[in-house]
Amino acid sequence: GTSSNMNANEVIAHRAMELVSDLSVKVHPNDHINFGQSSNDTFPTAIRIAGYLEAKNALIPSLKY
Q: Do residues 1 and 39 lie in contact, with contact meaning Cβ atoms separated by under 8 Å?
A: yes
Please report the pLDDT score of residue 52 as a whole number. Answer: 96
Please report the pLDDT score of residue 15 as a whole number. Answer: 95
pTM for this prediction: 0.59
Please report the pLDDT score of residue 11 as a whole number. Answer: 95
Alpha-carbon span 55 to 63, nearest angstrom: 10
Mean pLDDT of 57-64: 90
For 5-59, the pLDDT digits (tens) are: 888 899 999 999 999 988 888 999 989 988 877 767 777 888 999 999 999 999 9
Alpha-carbon span 35 to 18, nearest angstrom: 20
CA-angle at 13, arms to 10 and 19, nearest 5°: 145
